Structure 1
Amino acid sequence: MGPLTSRWRDSAQTPRGAVLRVFARVGAGVLAAVAVARLHDAHDPGVLCMLRRFTGVPCPACGCTTVFIEAGHGHLGAALAANPVAVAAGLGLLLAPLGPGRWWWQLSTVRRNTVLGVVLTLSWLWQLHRYGFLPA
């Protein structure tokens, strides 16, 4: 392992290093979102979710690709409307080097699974509402 790799790994322990990692993640995320949005504009593959493609029923993760594409176009409100859970998870991953997720690993496995179950249920209810399966 070279000195640059070692220095990068060790930098995560300092506040300055954590902020630099967040900026690097945000920059990479923005570039990827813009690239995916442009690729989507050039070639729309249609519905990617297999559950929705074959049954018409959205899954809890439906809208994740749309979140990325809308963010790449700069439509943050549309990205949030497509799947608020995906937006929150993405922000959590981007900000992870700053340490806000440490509380997650301090929870018991049962509590983490309960939180995930509730979040996935709420996400699925949102998607069912969004696609007109639930009344307004």
Structure 2
Amino acid sequence: MRKQFSVPERLGGFGAAAAVAAACWPMFTASTGLGAPCLLFTFTGIPCPGCGLTTAAVALVHGHLGAAAAANPGIFGLAAVTLVTIPLIMLRQFGLIGAPVPWSDRARSRMGRAMLVAAAVSWAFQLHRFGFA
């Protein structure tokens, strides 16, 4: 039977995968010369709310907190969720804790609004960082 993961657990899994990718990214770019440009910024010159997340993740994985914050402080939220949820996922896999309780419609709605606010704040930060505001 396939286990169901909650939204925070999925975010934590994404954060763990992003940390592994960020640890390998500098070696990849150095050997290939390839990067990961933001498509919105490339085509319009306007940064997206996620601009700088790759740079921030690489900086954070390598212990450069100031550089991570300067590129995109949202990476600290993803890191916090990852640090909390990965141990919970492991405890679930070993049968030490039960399955997560499904969120109510109200809780999902509140989280959706919170994520929209977080995206708006991130976009305002990126617009300021790139000199638009």
- Return the TM-score normalized by structure 2: 0.64
Superposed CA deviations along residues 40-97 of structure 1, whole A, max 9, x for unmatched, are 3334434521000111100001111111222344322101221111221232123214
Distance 1:111 1:128, change over 3 A: same
Please report the RMSD computed on the Cα atoms of aligned residues, expressed in angstroms: 3.2
Show the counterpart of 1:19.
Answer: none
Distance in 2 (CA, whole Å) between partners of 1:119 and 1:50 is 20
1:82 aligns with 2:83: no
Verify the 8 A CA contact 2:22 2:61 in the aligned structure 1.
yes
Distance in 2 (CA, whole Å) between partners of 1:49 and 1:29 is 16
Distance 1:120 1:93, change over 3 A: same
Ranges in structure 1 where 5+ consecutive residues have no aligned partner: 2-8, 10-21
Distance 1:78 1:44, change over 3 A: farther
1:56 aligns with 2:45: yes
- Return the TM-score normalized by structure 1: 0.63
Distance in 1 (CA, whole Å) between partners of 2:122 and 2:87 is 26
Where 1:108 maps in the other structure, the secondary structure is: helix
1:110 aligns with 2:109: yes
Distance 1:71 1:43, change over 3 A: farther
Show the counterpart of 2:91.
Answer: none
Could you tell me how far 1:34 is from its partner in structure 2? 2.3
* Matched AA of 2:114: V
Could you tell me how far 1:38 is from its partner in structure 2? 2.1
Pick 1 or 2: higher relative contact order, CA cutoff 8 A, min separation 6: 2
Identity %: 37
Matches within 5 A, 1:1-136: 31-46=20-35, 48-97=37-86, 105=103, 108-134=107-133
The count of corresponding residues between Structure 1 and Structure 2 is 110
* Matched AA of 1:69: V
Distance in 1 (CA, whole Å) between partners of 2:125 and 2:59 is 18
